[in-house]
Structure 1
């Protein structure tokens, strides 16, 4: 059955605790699932910087009709957005980090020797559609986090959409941040040129080639915990209900496998603070990470203090903070004052922006939870508008 798939993926970021919500039907072809977040999680900005820095470190050296719905869950209070997908026949449900900054689909498996008891482990022996590939794969990160195992193929269900013969990476061993048990793997939404094993197709590739979606696009809305959390992915379309302004088309450079865009300038209180820079739109990174020198310009404009670990201490009084504006495609997009504060530690606040020692910026959830983005793999390009919460 051919679908212009909209996978509404309700997302957010709260804590390790689970969140339950009943599906609620909206208009025809859409399913929205409200979620509640856990406000008691203690944020760690330094860890967020290290995670993003290590994620990209290995690459720096080289130079709507029908819909399918994936409900998502709040994790770590605006730190990570993940949702449930189903793999195998009969389906086994796992919760994955949805990540536009990578391209692998890897999951914990029953062969994993050190996975957390809290993690759901895919059992290939219980799936009649699983086929063993046997080739090895490994993902390594600069902070020591690793995942490795073997390849296989199986049916992957994103809501009502069933992708057949999808390459999956079954983890036999994990380490570092992956051991905390908060997720069962990762769903990469980047381009296939950066998959761990060359020649493998991503889920988005297969949604397109198997004609499960009419358009090679997906719309991303990330909720804000301060506005009730939630969020939504729409594959094959986008949700106008979460768009507050006009959509602006921005060209994408995908030569490195990412959704990289050019920011013409940044402005604070009507005054330009910095010039042009390139940045990766990455739903899998919590903060807005700029190049070291650029971040320090922004920090100086806000009177923020460099903590020496990629983070800044900033004024906790949002009434004294002007929004940070980005110019992309000739239009301005805003990070409001409330998102400039990532976490409060005692009587001090940690900024929602930082630096990671990289030659490019990572435009993470600090920006993305305030702006709706439609990712177009086919052109490639993105369309951006202010988000409506």
Structure 2
């Protein structure tokens, strides 16, 4: 879920760069062979691949919340007990936490889907995720929210992006965990599926994938996104677009491409035509197998994943959306991530993918 900055002050920090020999080979990250329950947070697929959520705890004594773990933003916010427009099941009560401290300033963030939230800024002890404890974490118990759907059980969002994206202008949760030595490695991994999904902190869960992880260094202009370059998009094994960058976003359901790029891709699918709001449809009988490549393997999205279902007689909706991106970078969401094991390495400044076990 890509957030857009609404702060009056923007922070621009350099993206850490660590030596990676090539963009398509596995970097020497030690992966635990015996995962521990304290590193693994179960995720729930709330609506057939549209949103995965997990549990966090904030405060003393701990207050529990259901959040989306979002690599497309960097801030933690949850609904407050005074929130107007929130449809949360659980809300944060600062007066009930002995470690809660209000800070100066106001938090605000807007997301590309049109949602926005506003609230005060606090610090508190965050006991999350899966028992990984961080102290003095900045977050916002929001008091105002708009366009937040009550379709899913969601109390807030925990951003997993880089500090450059933070509207709080503070370290995101996972970066705090690294600096406080709460995790062994600055790596986290996602396994998104219909059942037994998880977010793994401090490494990767090697029981969920086979072979090595194919890592790709972050682009030099990533500006806080988990953004990798030199991407190609294939339709039925043939290149339909190449030479673009991709933002890997666990908070987005679909894939988004600039208007011209999306038209180019769908131009290779027989019978495809644009519908409203940037979507395309195609004859259900010609649903393609598509794939991304970053110079290594072709990472496939099978036809039944790319096909979002019938919208007109014999016509089905495609999972690649046309959007005015303001950049040549594509957004790659869960429709792709459900078909790979994904790893996000702060230590190496890289994103990696592996074949599911």
Q: Which bin holds the TM-score, normalised by the shorter protein?
A: 0.7 to 0.9
In the aligned structure 2, how far is the partner of 1:386 from the partner of 1:79?
21
SS for the counterpart of 1:168 is strand
Alpha-carbon shift at residue 266 of structure 1 (Å): 2.3
Query: What is the Cα deviation at residue 294 of structure 1?
Result: 1.4
Computed over aligned residues only, the root mean square deviation of the Cα atoms, in angstroms, reads 2.4
1:209 corresponding residue in structure 2: 179
For 1:345, the equivalent position in structure 2 comes to: 311
> TM-score by structure 1 length?
0.78
Indicate whether 1:356 and 2:326 are aligned: no
Q: Tell me which residue corresponds to 1:160.
A: 131
1:279 corresponds to which of 240, 246, 252? 246
Query: Is the helix fraction higher in 1 or 2?
Result: 1
Change (3 A) 1:362 1:83: same
Q: Within 1, Cα distance between the matches of 2:164 and 2:4?
A: 14
> More displaced, 150-159 or 322-331?
322-331
Higher relative strand content: 2
Displacement of 1:245 in angstroms is: 4.6
Q: Distance in 2 between matches of 1:268 and 1:142?
A: 27
- How has the CA–CA distance of structure 1 residues 346 and 296 changed in structure 2, closer, same or farther, with 3 Å as cutoff? closer
List structure 1 segments (4+ residues) > 6 angstroms apart after TM superposition. Answer: none
Within 2, Cα distance between the matches of 1:300 and 1:230?
37
Return closer, same or farther for 1:314/1:241 CA change in 2, 3 Å cut-off.
farther
Alpha-carbon distance in structure 2 between the residues aligned to 1:56 and 1:150: 18
Q: Provide the C-alpha distance between the structure 2 equivalents of 1:56 and 1:124, rounded to a whole number of angstroms.
A: 27
- 1:214 is paired with a residue whose SS is coil
Q: Deviations over 1:144-192 (max 9, x none)?
A: 4221011111111121221111111110111112566631110000001
Q: Are 2:75 and 1:104 aligned?
A: yes
Q: Given that residues 41 and 200 in structure 2 are in contact (C-alpha distance below 8 angstroms), is that contact kept between their aligned partners in structure 1? A: no
Is the counterpart of residue 365 in structure 1 residue 334 in structure 2? yes
How many residue pairs get matched? Answer: 326
1 CA distance for matches of 2:301 and 2:320?
10
Structure-1 residue corresponding to 2:157? 186
TM-score, normalised with respect to structure 2: 0.84
Q: Give the equivalent residue in structure 1 for 2:19.
A: none
Give matches, 1:60-99, under 5 Å.
Answer: 64=32, 66=36, 67-99=38-70
Unaligned ranges ≥5, structure 2:
13-31
> Partner residue of 1:375?
344
- Residue number among 271, 275, 283 corresponding to 1:315 in the alignment: 283
